[in-house]
Chain A
Amino acid sequence: MKTIEILTQVLELIAALTAAPLFLGWVNQCRAWLQNRRAPSIWLPYRGIRKLFHKDAVIAETASPLFRVAPYIVFGAMVVAAGIIPSMGTRLPFTIAADAIALVGLLATARVFLSLAAMDIGTAFGTLGARREMMVGFLAEPALLMVIFVASMISATTALPAITENLATQTLALYPSLAFTAVAFILVLLAENARIPIDNPATHLELTMIHEAMVLEYSARHLALMEWAAALKLFNYACIGFALFIPWGVSTRESGPVALLASVPLLAVKLAVTGAGLAFIETISAKLRVFRAPEFLAVAFLLAVLGLLVHLLLGA
């Protein structure tokens, strides 16, 4: 294992852990700009997490050990995922642990534990959130898998760094199938990360919340880990999107440390643009009624399958 690989891996993990809350703050900032109001500081999520770590955890009497352990599992899953996704370089030692499909499984593990913990206490809100989350996840996962299938078929491998390497080093080509799956991926990103139009990340109304309902019972360090994990999830999804659709700038197999260093500001630029785009989508969309979420995800699945069919037919 060369030093450059270890360096890439560590750099990616640190970047993910530190930049994720900043990304969240940036999205809120852009949203505020678009809505003509003053946003709180970009560093607010950090302050929130820090504040929560200093507090005492209050846990319900009916909580089981699962409730205490779940935040660590969820956070751990997200960190491992961050380690696998090639956001800065394609030479990552951790990737032997999981390919793209296992990555989806990892995200699913996080979701399962989150939902189980939500139902653990026995309150109505928790169960409500868990059921809705499962419905969204059940429909979003096939769509995500289809997206990965298409990318895999184009690159003839399911290892995410290999896919990125392949797509980054090829001559520029227009892939209509990738165009379709990109749109599908954006829809899945919105759904899985509890953004508008599926879920409002800022609401606590029973009628509309999904993710917030699940973390309602947590406090102090557990809540801090959950919030951080949510920010990490968004960051990871954004990086998966970059790896599949905008892979240029990632340091590839043959490049040296300079390329690795150059990939950092490039990643920052990509994240900035994506954050602005996300804020834009959130601003122009209205939140869908919950029973319409399956339609939304059906469209995502459909687009992904269309991309697959188009790839099979046209070979592009």
Chain B
Amino acid sequence: MAGTPFDLQLLNFCAALLLLLSFAMLAQRRIVTLVNLLAIQGAVLLVATLLLAWRTGEHHLYLSAALTLALKVVFLPWILHRLIRRLQVYWDTEPLLNISGTMLIGLLVVVFAFGLAQPISALASTATRNAIGIAVAVILLSFVTMITRRKAMSQVVGFLSMENGLFFGAMSATYGMPMIVEFGVALDVLVAVLVLGIFFFQIREQFDSLDLHHLESLKESQPLYEAHYSVNETHSLDRSSLEGATHALQGDPARDPLDRR
């Protein structure tokens, strides 16, 4: 590739870095680091947007870059860090599959994503059309990250990383969406995180933990909460709130200092 100009190489480098960051998120168990990786992902997106804006001369991309900076690099990580501090969630519990297994699945997902994006890349006319496969890979990897997590905060980070992948896909396939749509999407993401913040406090208040295993008792057949509608009672004394209380007494196993890795 010695013939290609330098900024295109830099764009490809940014794309590869995005992929690496998604893998790093897949393997990471410390939640603070996850949020930092998300912030770095936002920064890489910013650099890529600026490069593309400079290369193609499309002015709406500069606006898009400013939006990315404000939202994905500064504001969202800041909110998430605040939430982490106030909710005191620092570590994720052991995922279902061990790290090596998850990585291998991630590799297969990447190969699948590259194959999926082939027809689109073939038809695209942008300079960055090869990076569409990476965008799809980032989306699918975030999906895998969400599936293999148990703490609510990690799932949220996976969700936001999926949005980053979508943004990158839009950028590499069509030099970004129309501004009105981008603003709308940014607004939605922002409101989503704010709503989630409120939500986390509600969950924490009820269960004393943000482990999603507490949120898995509603099944297809029937809820296990018998008296969840009762007159003159705001909290129902049921199995899970008792569980939550015992967890609080025994200490959350995920926060056992001897278990730190």
Which 7 A-B pairs rank lowest in CB-CB distance, beginning with the nearest? A176-B16, A298-B100, A174-B9, A316-B1, A176-B13, A170-B2, A314-B12
Q: For window 156-173 of chain A, which residues contact chain B by CB distance below 8 Å? A: 170-171, 173
Shortest A245–chain B CB gap in Å is 15
Interface size of B as a range:
20 to 34
Per-residue CB proximity of B1-38 to A under 8 Å, as 1/0?
11010100110110111011001000100000000000
Q: Is A7 an interface residue (CB 8 A)?
A: no
Q: Determine which of B2, B12, B16, B17 lies in contact with A171 in the assembled complex, contact meaning CB atoms within 8 Å.
A: B2
Q: Determine which of A170, A177, A295, A298 lies in contact with B16 in the assembled complex, contact meaning CB atoms within 8 Å.
A: A177
- Within the assembled complex, what's the spacing in Å between the Cα atoms of A157 and B101? 33
Contact assessment for A176 and B130 in the assembled complex, using a CB-CB cutoff below 8 Å: no
Q: Is A310 an interface residue (CB 8 A)?
A: yes
A-chain residues with CB within 8 Å of residue B131 when the two chains form the complex: 313-314
Contact assessment for B17 and A176 in the assembled complex, using a CB-CB cutoff below 8 Å: yes
Contact assessment for B103 and A179 in the assembled complex, using a CB-CB cutoff below 8 Å: no
Contact assessment for B110 and A309 in the assembled complex, using a CB-CB cutoff below 8 Å: yes
Contact assessment for B16 and A310 in the assembled complex, using a CB-CB cutoff below 8 Å: yes
Contact assessment for A173 and B2 in the assembled complex, using a CB-CB cutoff below 8 Å: yes
Supply 28 A–B pairs (Cβ within 8 Å), ascending by A: A171-B2, A174-B6, A174-B9, A174-B10, A174-B12, A176-B13, A176-B17, A294-B100, A295-B98, A295-B100, A298-B99, A298-B100, A298-B104, A299-B27, A299-B103, A306-B16, A306-B107, A306-B110, A309-B110, A310-B16, A310-B134, A312-B114, A313-B133, A314-B12, A314-B131, A315-B1, A315-B130, A316-B13
Per-residue CB proximity of B243-257 to A under 8 Å, as 1/0?
000000000000000
Q: Is B96 an interface residue (CB 8 A)?
A: no
Shortest A135–chain B CB gap in Å is 13
Contact assessment for A306 and B2 in the assembled complex, using a CB-CB cutoff below 8 Å: no
Contact assessment for A306 and B19 in the assembled complex, using a CB-CB cutoff below 8 Å: yes
B-chain residues with CB within 8 Å of residue A313 when the two chains form the complex: 114, 130-131, 133-134
Contact assessment for B114 and A314 in the assembled complex, using a CB-CB cutoff below 8 Å: no
Q: Is B111 an interface residue (CB 8 A)?
A: yes
Q: Which residues of B contact A (CB under 8 A)?
A: 1-2, 4, 6, 9-10, 12-13, 15-17, 19-20, 23, 27, 98-100, 103-104, 106-107, 110-111, 114, 130-131, 133-134
Q: Which of B1, B131, B134 has the most CB of A within 10 A?
A: B1
B-chain residues with CB within 8 Å of residue A305 when the two chains form the complex: 107
- Within the assembled complex, what's the spacing in Å between the Cα atoms of A97 and B191? 65
Shortest B131–chain A CB gap in Å is 7
Contact assessment for B23 and A314 in the assembled complex, using a CB-CB cutoff below 8 Å: no
User: Which chain B residue shows the least CB distance to A169?
Assistant: B2
Contact assessment for A302 and B107 in the assembled complex, using a CB-CB cutoff below 8 Å: yes
Contact assessment for B103 and A175 in the assembled complex, using a CB-CB cutoff below 8 Å: no
- Within the assembled complex, what's the spacing in Å between the Cα atoms of A173 and B13? 11
A-chain residues with CB within 8 Å of residue B134 when the two chains form the complex: 310, 313-314
Q: Determine which of B10, B12, B103 lies in contact with A302 in the assembled complex, contact meaning CB atoms within 8 Å.
A: B103
- Within the assembled complex, what's the spacing in Å between the Cα atoms of A180 and B4? 20
- Within the assembled complex, what's the spacing in Å between the Cα atoms of A309 and B6? 21
Main secondary structure of the interface of B (DSSP, over half): helix
Shortest A140–chain B CB gap in Å is 14
Interface size of A as a range:
20 to 34
User: Which chain B residue shows the least CB distance to A176?
Assistant: B16
With A180-B16, A313-B133, A313-B134 known to touch, is A175 a contact of B1 (CB < 8 Å)? yes
Shortest B145–chain A CB gap in Å is 15
Task: List 17 additional A-B contacts (Cβ < 8 Å) besides A170-B2, A313-B133.
Answer: A174-B9, A176-B16, A295-B99, A295-B100, A298-B100, A302-B103, A306-B107, A309-B110, A310-B16, A310-B134, A313-B114, A313-B131, A314-B15, A314-B131, A314-B134, A315-B1, A316-B12
Shortest A156–chain B CB gap in Å is 13
Q: Which of B2, B16, B114 has the most CB of A within 10 A?
A: B16
- Within the assembled complex, what's the spacing in Å between the Cα atoms of A173 and B99? 33
B-chain residues with CB within 8 Å of residue A315 when the two chains form the complex: 1, 130
Contact assessment for A306 and B23 in the assembled complex, using a CB-CB cutoff below 8 Å: yes
Q: Which of B100, B106, B107 has the most CB of A within 10 A?
A: B100
Contact assessment for A173 and B114 in the assembled complex, using a CB-CB cutoff below 8 Å: no
User: Which chain A residue shows the least CB distance to B118?
Assistant: A313
A-chain residues with CB within 8 Å of residue B100 when the two chains form the complex: 294-295, 298
Shortest A168–chain B CB gap in Å is 12
Contact assessment for B1 and A310 in the assembled complex, using a CB-CB cutoff below 8 Å: no
B-chain residues with CB within 8 Å of residue A302 when the two chains form the complex: 23, 103-104, 106-107
Contact assessment for B130 and A298 in the assembled complex, using a CB-CB cutoff below 8 Å: no
A-chain residues with CB within 8 Å of residue B111 when the two chains form the complex: 309
- Within the assembled complex, what's the spacing in Å between the Cα atoms of A315 and B12? 9
- Within the assembled complex, what's the spacing in Å between the Cα atoms of A313 and B110? 11
